[in-house]
Chains A and B, each alone.
Chain A
């Protein structure tokens, strides 16, 4: 099972954090800090992407990270996941983001908080991998976005109109 997904930049600023077992906000921040300070910031280039995470996330946990431009993508998981498969899954996630935002960069991730979660939720559901094909993820995300827009558009106009009329 996947315990947590984190995206942070090379300065250790969190850009996305999802924990599949509840952590209070202070604890979340602390975990992110220790992942960055304890491992990522001092990690050399061109070394293996796995880190034993027992010290931070408890026994039987492993961490895999991938470094893209200014961002680190970090997945934390236990022994019922395959290490290389997790590495692939990060790739799937990033590919999907790339398709969604057309050449994704850090700013896209900063400003699309809710969409990031929509995408991630289609891939990982309650800590389990549900979708591994980015085209399928895109399809669902597009539908959801459409639905969101529709529900906003329908109600925005009448609301403001009725608001003006009532005056």
Chain B
């Protein structure tokens, strides 16, 4: 040993020194750590094991507490791990479990060291190695060390054995084939007399069952778990067993009958709150059909609810809300506690109480509860306030507003929620606003009224959380402007100066809505002046009988014509309010003449709301407000503003002339303006509906459109000519290129360079290969046949919509509650039933993820399901059945593969695909009974019977074609009987 190493070890900073240094903070923490790291990097390279170990310990500390990287020291970790001194070894193992992961390359080097330590006579060394493995085991490590761990599973030392059992979890996850070898031993540990070992084994099964996509595999072990449930006194073990049963009970109803009594017994007797709560949870999640158990659980829940400990109260509420999904009475019984909990200081309790309250909501009390909650939200702190608003929105919006009957009420509630100063649910409210507008025709008048109230309030524009709601309000008032009592006032609101506070995209919505309002006003004025005859619009509407309420003018003209308004439901509400408003807003300049004109008569708008003057004022207002926007650099805003201004410019001149003339004096044919306005008006009055998710699929592909073939050609071309992406745009979408692309080129004479270049390239290419992406003649016919982009989804929607309506009426007839209401629930247009697709998709991925482990387990557990069957046949001879199982499992790994090789089918062996695995598994199922029988032959007398049975089983399988696992599962016997 050289002197330098002694000096090193004498003057090396220990971990304590390091920590003291950091705490002293003489030169600042990060600076000190940098310095310490320099030392560590030097020290760790030394040959002296003590210095190296201390350096590694310091590094591990810095890694764990200060987040310093230590992956660079992986090799030194291996060195220290292999030290013969226990203290060093321990430092090495801690460092390894702290820093090693799948990406550590030196992990390959530790296999032998681990093997050595796993077989050590010192139990603490074995413990270190197992502990490390439980965190870092990779597939390779798990595979290579499975034999050692298998041996340790039956170690005589509890200290080692419990850890060996626990490490199995990681081994199984990483190397599912280990199941074949060690599963039997693991099950044996369930029966160990030592509670530590048993606890570890139960814990492993609990993890396996909860992670496995198919817990059915563990059903054969139910008798073992049942025995533990009945006999065990250890609360920790009982909790885990209950967790396992919670997974198994939904799968096997016979099991529930057996365990319900012991569970209730534990619930009654135990003094441990944790065990009691676990019993309650098991009952409320899986044993809700057993009335006495539920009653007992509710009793115990009540105890938790009135406890002073907030933890117990919270868990009690949680259990209650789980139960609430099945039985409402316990929730109603504890209503007072739940309501009081809403004002608890504890955020968990409040939230859980809120869920419970929302769970009690039905269509009869939704209004009352929501009213209370919205008022309560005003007084709550922001976070909880938004929880309340969010849960009201999601509850009411659930399944196409299932529980909402009175949409006028709900829409005004939405408006009220928007005005809550803490409201941050803009996005949800926005989408419901628009969604209700699209789906619920009858709610539109109220929607427009609420939207108007929001738009007109200049204070709301300052709150960025509300901008989304304002966007929806603007859209709604533009789209359904015919329900507006005062379009002029609306226009002022849309164009008020404070809209400059809005983000550009929302301002664009505002301007577009203003456009719609303008067109509506002009059109109504012309109708009123009889320049345009509403009948012509009616003709249009009758021309499209399918659209039903597709053209809004029908309603408008109805209003204009018949003052009695008997047929329009909204008219009754509509009129009185108008007079109110007109009094309120009499100060507004543009509207003054209207109000003066109409203040006397309560019937308003319909008569003569639009005067020459008011229209002129309107036009001026729009021009004034939008003028500045035409020069803004926000393109959306500029674009919309230009549209409106351009429109005004186009009609203005002639309109002045028109306005001057007498009523009904012109022929429509003479003037362009009425035509233009009518055109625009019709464009805006097309009904917008919700679009089904599957709408695109329902559009039939036109004959002769061969999308796939041509695209594959395109691939070839792209492969040998490297084109800029812009070119693939024009080539990839030939239709676009021919129709819109052309006009695009015409409009902008100067095309940017790249695309002309690409068209050149394309032309060259066509010449070269004599290929065209789509035959031009064909393409033409296609584009002629192809229906306008808007129509097909619309038509299919309507068809679909009526079907859904039928369903809806059927439903409402079926349930008594709904028919009781005096006011019929308005129609809600639905398109898609449920969303089953994503669910099944996630299921699939989950399954495939855990496939290997559950596959291996399936082999083992369903492979030996024959045994319970045989033991059922001879209930007295349980042990022999067990021995067989053992033999099967122990020899299984080797002998099975041999047999497979011997088999005529070559597809076995290393089959990796899932399908072939199943097939080979099914094959196994055919074989294993026979093997079993062979083993039995000398001892069992009823072999004939058995083999007969199996042979029949086998032939049936053959007849079925490829055997699959599902067909096997029903054979699971009555385990507990």
Name A residues whose Cβ lies closer than 8 Å to a Cβ of B: 1, 14-17, 20, 22, 25-26, 28-29, 44, 46-51, 78-80, 82-85, 87-88, 110-111, 113-114, 117-118, 121, 125-132, 140, 143-144, 147-152, 155-156, 159-160, 162-163, 166-167
Name the contact of A80 in the complex, choosing from B67, B102, B166, B210 (C-beta under 8 A): B210
Q: A25-B68, A126-B135, A132-B236 are in contact. Are A148 and B6 (CB under 8 A)?
A: no
Name the contact of B311 in the complex, choosing from A48, A80, A149, A162 (C-beta under 8 A): A48
Measured in the bound complex, the distance between the Cα atoms of B63 and A44 in whole Å is: 31
Whether B16 and A88, one on each chain, are in contact in the complex, defined by CB atoms closer than 8 angstroms, is no
Q: B731 an interface residue at 8 Å Cβ cutoff? A: no
Whether B310 and A84, one on each chain, are in contact in the complex, defined by CB atoms closer than 8 angstroms, is no
Whether B1 and A163, one on each chain, are in contact in the complex, defined by CB atoms closer than 8 angstroms, is yes
Interface string of B119-147 (1 = CB under 8 A from A): 00010100000110011100000000000
Residue numbers in B under 8 Å from A159 (CB-CB) = 1, 50
Name the contact of B243 in the complex, choosing from A49, A80, A129 (C-beta under 8 A): A80
Residue of A nearest to B244 (CB): A80
With A150-B86, A167-B3 known, 7 other A-B pairs at CB within 8 A are A16-B64, A22-B102, A82-B278, A87-B311, A114-B57, A130-B200, A159-B50
Whether B159 and A151, one on each chain, are in contact in the complex, defined by CB atoms closer than 8 angstroms, is no
Measured in the bound complex, the distance between the Cα atoms of B310 and A46 in whole Å is: 8
Residue of A nearest to B349 (CB): A48
- Nearest Cβ in chain B — how far from A49, in angstroms? 6
Residue numbers in A under 8 Å from B239 (CB-CB) = 82, 85
Interface of B is mostly: helix
Whether A125 and B3, one on each chain, are in contact in the complex, defined by CB atoms closer than 8 angstroms, is no
Q: B61 an interface residue at 8 Å Cβ cutoff? A: yes
Q: B70 an interface residue at 8 Å Cβ cutoff? A: yes
Q: A48-B314, A82-B239, A129-B203 are in contact. Are A148 and B135 (CB under 8 A)?
A: no
Give residues 627-667 of B contacting A (CB, 8 Å).
none
Residue of A nearest to B133 (CB): A126
Whether B346 and A47, one on each chain, are in contact in the complex, defined by CB atoms closer than 8 angstroms, is yes
* 21 A/B residue pairs, CB under 8 Å, sorted by A: A15-B65, A22-B102, A28-B67, A48-B310, A48-B313, A50-B311, A80-B207, A83-B277, A85-B236, A87-B311, A113-B15, A113-B65, A114-B15, A114-B94, A128-B169, A128-B204, A129-B203, A148-B87, A149-B87, A155-B50, A166-B1
Q: A125-B134, A130-B166 are in contact. Are A84 and B124 (CB under 8 A)?
A: no
Measured in the bound complex, the distance between the Cα atoms of B206 and A78 in whole Å is: 12
User: Which of A22, A48, A131 counts the most B-chain CB atoms under 10 A from its CB?
Assistant: A48
Measured in the bound complex, the distance between the Cα atoms of B348 and A17 in whole Å is: 26
Whether A143 and B61, one on each chain, are in contact in the complex, defined by CB atoms closer than 8 angstroms, is no
Measured in the bound complex, the distance between the Cα atoms of B135 and A78 in whole Å is: 17
Q: B345 an interface residue at 8 Å Cβ cutoff? A: yes
Residue of A nearest to B68 (CB): A25
Q: A126-B135, A144-B124, A151-B87 are in contact. Are A160 and B61 (CB under 8 A)?
A: no
Name B residues whose Cβ lies closer than 8 Å to a Cβ of A: 1, 3, 5-6, 15-16, 19, 23, 50, 57, 60-61, 63-70, 85-88, 90-91, 94, 100-102, 122, 124, 130-131, 134-136, 159, 162-163, 166-167, 169-170, 196, 199-200, 203-204, 206-207, 210, 235-236, 239-240, 243, 273-274, 277-278, 310-311, 313-315, 345-349
- Nearest Cβ in chain B — how far from A38, in angstroms? 12
Q: A15-B65, A29-B67, A50-B348 are in contact. Are A152 and B87 (CB under 8 A)?
A: yes
- Nearest Cβ in chain A — how far from B123, in angstroms? 9
- Nearest Cβ in chain B — how far from A74, in angstroms? 15
- Nearest Cβ in chain A — how far from B349, in angstroms? 7
Whether A85 and B345, one on each chain, are in contact in the complex, defined by CB atoms closer than 8 angstroms, is no
Measured in the bound complex, the distance between the Cα atoms of B313 and A117 in whole Å is: 34
Residue numbers in B under 8 Å from A83 (CB-CB) = 274, 277, 311, 315
Whether A117 and B94, one on each chain, are in contact in the complex, defined by CB atoms closer than 8 angstroms, is yes
Measured in the bound complex, the distance between the Cα atoms of B236 and A4 in whole Å is: 19
Measured in the bound complex, the distance between the Cα atoms of B94 and A144 in whole Å is: 14
Measured in the bound complex, the distance between the Cα atoms of B279 and A82 in whole Å is: 11
Whether B86 and A148, one on each chain, are in contact in the complex, defined by CB atoms closer than 8 angstroms, is yes
Residue numbers in A under 8 Å from B19 (CB-CB) = 110-111, 113
Whether B199 and A130, one on each chain, are in contact in the complex, defined by CB atoms closer than 8 angstroms, is yes
Q: A84-B315, A114-B57 are in contact. Are A25 and B90 (CB under 8 A)?
A: no
Whether A152 and B207, one on each chain, are in contact in the complex, defined by CB atoms closer than 8 angstroms, is no
Whether B65 and A125, one on each chain, are in contact in the complex, defined by CB atoms closer than 8 angstroms, is no
Measured in the bound complex, the distance between the Cα atoms of B162 and A22 in whole Å is: 23
Measured in the bound complex, the distance between the Cα atoms of B14 and A114 in whole Å is: 13
Measured in the bound complex, the distance between the Cα atoms of B207 and A114 in whole Å is: 28
Residue numbers in A under 8 Å from B5 (CB-CB) = 163
Whether B86 and A147, one on each chain, are in contact in the complex, defined by CB atoms closer than 8 angstroms, is yes
Measured in the bound complex, the distance between the Cα atoms of B200 and A140 in whole Å is: 17
Residue numbers in B under 8 Å from A14 (CB-CB) = 64-65
- Nearest Cβ in chain A — how far from B140, in angstroms? 16
Whether A82 and B67, one on each chain, are in contact in the complex, defined by CB atoms closer than 8 angstroms, is no
Whether B166 and A126, one on each chain, are in contact in the complex, defined by CB atoms closer than 8 angstroms, is yes
Interchain residue pairs A-B with the least CB separation, the first 7: A126-B134, A84-B274, A29-B67, A48-B310, A22-B101, A151-B86, A47-B346
Whether A82 and B277, one on each chain, are in contact in the complex, defined by CB atoms closer than 8 angstroms, is yes
Whether B170 and A25, one on each chain, are in contact in the complex, defined by CB atoms closer than 8 angstroms, is no
Residue numbers in A under 8 Å from B65 (CB-CB) = 14-17, 113
Residue numbers in A under 8 Å from B203 (CB-CB) = 128-130
Q: A25-B63, A128-B166, A151-B87 are in contact. Are A47 and B310 (CB under 8 A)?
A: yes
Measured in the bound complex, the distance between the Cα atoms of B85 and A83 in whole Å is: 40
